[in-house]
Amino acid sequence: MADSDLHAEPDVIRSNIMYYTNWRTPFRFLILIALLANVMVSSTSAQPARSKASSGSAETTYDSARIGTLAKQLDAGNKDALDQFWMEINGKAPLIEPVSDDYRYCWVTFIWHGNSTTRKVGALGDLPYMDTSKWYMNRLRDTDLWFKTERIPKDARFGYLLNENETGYRHDPLNPRRWAGRSVAELPGAAEEPWIRELPGVPKGQVIKEKIKSEILKEERSVSIYLPAIYDKFQESFNLLVIFDGESYGRDDVIPTSTILDNLIDKVKIPPMVAVLVNSQNTRDRDLLCSEPFENFLASELVPWVRQKYHATTDPTRTVVAGSSYGGLSAACTAFRHPDIFGNVLSQSGTFTYNPKRLGNQDSDYYPETGWLTRQFVIAPKLPLRFYLQVGRFEGLSFENRHLRDILEAKGYQVTFAEYSGNHDYLSWRNSLGEGLIALIGYQRFQRTVAP
């Protein structure tokens, strides 16, 4: 991650903690990160390493080879070893080492440089642990070094914050990589992010703020319109992208949609396209949970307006509806109900656990139903739709997304399915927007050959 990425101020960090732990945000599937580790455990109650019998005495072993080496150096009386370690780790935390017997993982050691007042060190982050003790560090001997080692998939990218003595969460001072108020850990196999930053020589499109009055919703909606750099020179109709949560997808420090589209178009990955970023974060619980009025607004009012005003295509095979979390659910549901308008679905961590009964009375508390939209695809005839489904291994939505994938493939749909080692987070979604567009409407789609 480039040093130019967002370095948040303390108020951003506070809002980020609220975002992690607010049950109504997309991060609710983190199980509130074990309720913000409210069940505080003493750091001395956790075992810093494993012990095994050796020649009649207990020998301590460490998952981190570097921590193990340091422990041996200290035991041997090497007083300079700790100072050398602090020089090595500064600017390079967390400590990342291979797992010798499993190439799929790395040992990741979170480090804290304590002092004489440090009593416990905790963390708040994207790893899928419900056990609060897993997020507390241990002290190495009687030194000022506190650490916690976890085995994590080597392609992971995730955010985290640290907390000393329950005095508030903050960035990892030993890690310069930051984004949206968090420190970021990127393991060696993390996917490259080629589309999210401005590339030299790439012409920039323009973004126009618009408002459209909806008779269906009885309100005025704010949208942002992206027009490619060649808009005035292009004689044909443009591909169309409609994406929800425009407040975030229109921010360069969250998901830089305009930059992503600039890069994809310039590098001839996708045809030129117009994008509509629909503001929906203030109404997402109303609009994005398979709301028929909202979907009718999109199909009957918004898209015809964009077609007429911005020369967007009328071809559903060149039209994409996209979103994340509730937005991913809404994208799939919108296309299901309006396949004559939207022929492509780009879902990032779609909340396919959704069932309308969860919003009201249930038939029985003992038999909660999930996957309502998946069931609709089961019982309906096959529709002219293509899908890009993405989901993170660190979130609680993998099962439902895999289930939908399997149902769609069994019905004969074309599905591109992507899993990543990360959480329910814009940090993971920002680059996959481009990958999803390439999969759905990219030039390479027309160059595929079927192996004999």
Instruction: Answer whether 137's CB lies under 8 Å from 146's CB.
Output: yes
At 170 the three-state DSSP class reads strand
Cα 262 to Cα 373: distance, rounded to the nearest angstrom: 33
Chain position carrying tokens 């609709």: 376
Tokens of 201: 């020589």
Cα 349 to Cα 201: distance, rounded to the nearest angstrom: 33
Cα 338 to Cα 92: distance, rounded to the nearest angstrom: 50
Look at phi and psi of residue 180 and say left if phi exceeds 0, alpha if psi is from -120 to 50, else beta: left
CA atoms within 13 A on the CB side of 160: 29
CA atoms within 13 A on the CB side of 154: 12
20: nearest Cα among 31, 6, 11: 31
- Provide CB contacts within 8 A for 183, sequence distance 6+: 159, 160, 161, 162, 171, 172, 175, 177
Cis previous bond, 94, omega within 30: yes
Separation in Å, CA 142 to CA 90, 114, 147? 20, 11, 13
413: nearest Cα among 442, 386, 374, 445: 386
The domains of the chain are located at: 10-49+60-186, 206-447
- The dihedral built from the CA positions of residue 372, 374, 378 and 380, taken in this order, carries a sign that is positive
User: How many other CB atoms are found less than 10 A from the CB of residue 389?
Assistant: 24
Q: What spatial distance separates the first Cα and last Cα of the chain, rounded to whole Å?
A: 41
Instruction: Answer whether 441's CB lies under 8 Å from 318's CB.
Output: yes
In this structure, what is the dihedral angle of CA atoms 207, 213, 219, 225, given to the nearest 10 degrees? -10
- In tens, the pLDDT along 14-50 reads 545 544 444 334 443 333 333 333 333 333 333 445 5
Q: Which of 3.30.930.10, 2.60.40.10, 3.40.50.970, 3.30.67.10 is the CATH number of 10-49+60-186?
A: 2.60.40.10
Q: Name the stretches of the chain with pLDDT < 50.
A: 1-13, 15, 18-48, 51-57, 359-361, 448-452
Cα 197 to Cα 405: distance, rounded to the nearest angstrom: 31
User: How many other CB atoms are found less than 10 A from the CB of residue 413?
Assistant: 18
Task: Write the DSSP assignment of 298-309 as a string of letters.
Answer: IIIIIHHHHHHH
Q: Which helix (H) or strand (E) holds 67?
A: helix 65-75
Chain position carrying tokens 């992206």: 226
Beta partners for residue 225, in sequence order: 208, 276
Give the distance, in angstroms, between the CA of residue 435 and the centroid of all CA atoms in the same chain. Answer: 14
Instruction: Could you please state the CATH topology (level 3) that the domain comprising 206-447 is classified under.
Output: Rossmann fold (3.40.50)
Residue 50 is predicted with a pLDDT of 59
Amino acid identity at 192: E
- Provide CB contacts within 8 A for 36, sequence distance 6+: 17, 20, 21, 124
- Provide CB contacts within 8 A for 118, sequence distance 6+: 112, 139, 144, 146, 164, 165
Same fold, 10-49+60-186 and 206-447: no
Amino acid identity at 310: Y
Beta partners for residue 107, in sequence order: 97, 151
pTM: 0.86
At 323 the three-state DSSP class reads strand
